[in-house]
Structure 1
Amino acid sequence: MKAAVLFEPKTKLSIEDVTVDAPGPHEVLIRTVACGVCRSDLHFVDGAYPHALPGIPGHEAAGVVEAVGSEVATVKVGDHVVTCLSAFCGHCEFCLTGRMALCISGDVRRPKDVRPRLMLGDMPVAQMLNLSAYAEMMLVHEHACVAIDPEMPLDRAAILGCAVTTGAGAIFNAAKVVPGETVCVVGCGGVGLAAVNAARIAGAGKVIAVDPVAEKRAIAEKLGATHVVDAASETAADEVIELTRGGVHHAIEAVGRPQSAATAVKVLRRGGTATILGMMPLTEKVGLSALDLLADKKVQGALMGRNHFPIDIPRLVDFYQRGALDLDTIIADRMPLERINDAFDELRKGDTTRSVIVFDA
């Protein structure tokens, strides 16, 4: 199969002929139809986050089940599925207490003494984030995918697997936005725009989108932002505070920069909560001042939107099919696998929302 392989950080991905193994127990072989281009992959490609190499990035995908191994109980051949990097074992402490997105059990991966799922000649290829979706086929644990309505377009469904699960999950699962509360979303990439759209669905009173790119702010308005603010302005945080007469109940940081996290904290009202979603440089910290603590402000993470993806993703599909969730507007471009490096170049510029790699049907 064709796959985009990363051999060294800070180099271009190379399209190679990679061998994928047959599915073993609890494994599912999926023909990839579409895969979103996420900044999380870019962090690995650019060397900001370490990973075993050579490897195949890509983690925001949708496809069709081609084969299943023994003991698979959740999907069958022919099912349309969305994959999610939050592969869960189902029996660890995190899974049993409802925090499936935190599961790091090795049970969802092959043991080291078993043939790897992916090979390039006689060389093992690391499976990145349990998926490696920039490839014509994916071989994953059954708890890394969920069946969806076959009427759902798979190029739109793909971005549910990360951007929308994370952004919408921050609103529904982590912030638990109550109708009438105010929300500020800092950063209008794929994750931030999904948060904006979800805040509208949740019934937020004001939804304020903060981004330095005018085109992205316009998209945010289309998706449900009641107000937009230029993040490049020195008074951006003050403008949000003025619009909300004292600050917002919830701030969602969807960029991954210390400055945007500081903005998310600053725009909070007394008792407000900032949810940090962006992957920041590993040496950075996000905190609260003594005055913030006295004002009962809170900062929290929300890995992958604290999702319960076997439940959340079908519900998001339903939102899309009923016209509440606007995935078409979030997707900026569709490209073949051979243009994966162009897609990353566009992401580095910071002007695009979400590109999707599409494979031949």
Structure 2
Amino acid sequence: MPPRTSRASSLSAGSGRANPAAPNRSGKPARRKRSFLWSLYKFVFVTGCLSVLLLAGWFYLTPSGNTYRYMLADTLITTQHREWAKYIIGEKALRERVAAYVKQFEEMGEERDTHTIPIAEDGPTTGEQAAEEPTSIQEVDGEGFHGYLLTVRDPKTVRLVVPNKTGRGEKVSSMVKRTGAIAGVNAGGFADPNWKGNGFKPIGLVISQGKVYYNGLGNTKSVQIVGIDKNGKMLAGKYSLDELMELGISEAVSFSPRIIVNGKGLIPNRAQGWGVAPRTVMGQREDGAMLFLLIDGRQPGYSIGATLYDAQEILLEHGAVIAANLDGGSSTVLVTEGGEIVNKPSSSSGERYLPTAFLVFEHPEAVDVPNIWAGLKPSDIDAGKW
């Protein structure tokens, strides 16, 4: 005779109906769970919608939100995705914003610079001068950005160098190694169709060793330049070619805006600093020392970038009496002896091919820079063909 089995144990070993708390018996625990999840979903959805509405209200309707909105638009304007800015401020406002900056930059280059520097005698240095390092580099930090300040003691050691092959630009690290320079930074801008240019067609003027290497002015009588005269004095602002020659220009490229003149900053606040981006800026102290400020950017977690106002304030703190913007963005690069890259260029493909660079030499008088554009007209150069 088989052993007796209790009702509880037999039911528990069977279909599971012995467990009165099972969800599929009455359905109440399952319904409570679904109800809780639905309530949570509604809470998250409503909270998210309210947050979006509040953020949009702040972004579009408050003074602080508008300041941030236009700074974000300015940041996009400095990139290859300029057209995206219209989704933030509108297409009409985008056109007006760009036109306003062009006009502002022109006006910032009008005031004549009157700063002076000590004129050093040519010849070997002795005593304390000989003991000083020709260059020094220090790190700089600010709100959301990291960068470097290169100081060049003698401004007459700076030369403008250009590529050595027709039809393509050259990396600054290559220029430094090829010429034996002790440091170098990127200089002027260039035609860059579809952001895939070969770096060989400069914009505006290129002057090296007092000679015009490239003239892309066309019918334009004056242009914004950044350069150095034969005595080592920095020149920046709006000049005609004849004026530059009369002033004894030695090395120069076309770029803008000038942000410091006669010891005063020209950008009134950060909101008018043309967005956040990688920056290369050149300046000079009253004692003649050259300052090259390079700010990395477009790299969250490391350095987002700086406004031109940020760059201006850093250079003023370091004694600059004149300063001007050079090509920045993914072109920004600082190189030391042997071609070592100090900063972190923002380009996904690494260092870019460029038409010009300001290089520092121990013996600048021995530097020979051949004119790679000799015999070429701007119309002869295909900026997109490698």
Q: TM-score, normalised by structure 2?
A: 0.21
Q: TM-score, normalised by structure 1?
A: 0.22
- Between structure 1 and structure 2, the one with the greater Rg is 2
Which of structures 1 and 2 has the larger relative contact order (alpha carbons within 8 angstroms, sep 6+)? Answer: 2
